[in-house]
């Protein structure tokens, strides 16, 4: 019987890609929650990439330490602010989507901020080259 369950599980693992979720056509709350989670993962990858690029660009240890502290503080702020934003939907099926959507929006904004820090205009005394 165990072999049957294993074979059945392997069958579904093999065909899973054919059931890929099209987030442009998500209709159920569960699908929308999954899509919001996927969007957050993509934004988080961009955030990590931008942060690592900025850390790698600077040779100033003091700047790197300050950036690390600022990023940690920003993550705490983002998470707490999004918990507040999703609070009205607590206990509902939309809460996950509301929270993930907020995190994604704030993360995309932070990516833009970090990318802007990497491109300094001539004469910008606040920019670390």
pTM: 0.77
Residue 12's pLDDT band, with cuts at 50, 70 and 90, is very low
**Mean per-residue pLDDT of the chain:** 85
Give the residue with greater pLDDT, 58 vs 80.
Answer: 80
For residue 55, count other CB atoms closer than 10 A to its CB: 14
Burial class (CB in 10 A: 0-12, 13-18, 19+), 46: middle
User: Domain spans of the chain?
Assistant: 60-87
Residue 129 has what pLDDT?
Answer: 55
Contact (CB, 8 A) for 96 and 33: yes
Q: Where are the alpha helices (DSSP H) in the chain?
A: 2-15, 29-57, 61-86, 95-118
The angle at the Cα of 103, spanning 120 to 31, to the nearest 5 degrees, equals 130
């Amino acid at each position: 019987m165990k072999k049957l369950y294993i074979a059945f599980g392997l069958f579904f693992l093999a065909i899973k890609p054919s059931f890929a979720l099209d987030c442009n056509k998500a209709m159920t709350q569960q699908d929308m929650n999954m899509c919001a989670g996927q969007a957050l993962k993509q934004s988080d990858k961009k955030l990590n990439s931008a942060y690592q690029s900025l850390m790698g660009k600077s040779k100033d240890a003091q700047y790197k330490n300050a950036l690390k502290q600022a990023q940690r503080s920003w993550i705490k702020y983002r998470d707490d602010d999004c918990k507040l934003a999703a609070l009205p939907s607590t206990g509902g099926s939309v809460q996950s989507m509301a929270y993930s959507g907020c995190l994604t929006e704030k993360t995309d904004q932070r990516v833009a901020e970090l990318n802007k820090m990497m491109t300094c205009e001539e004469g910008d005394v606040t920019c670390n080259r």
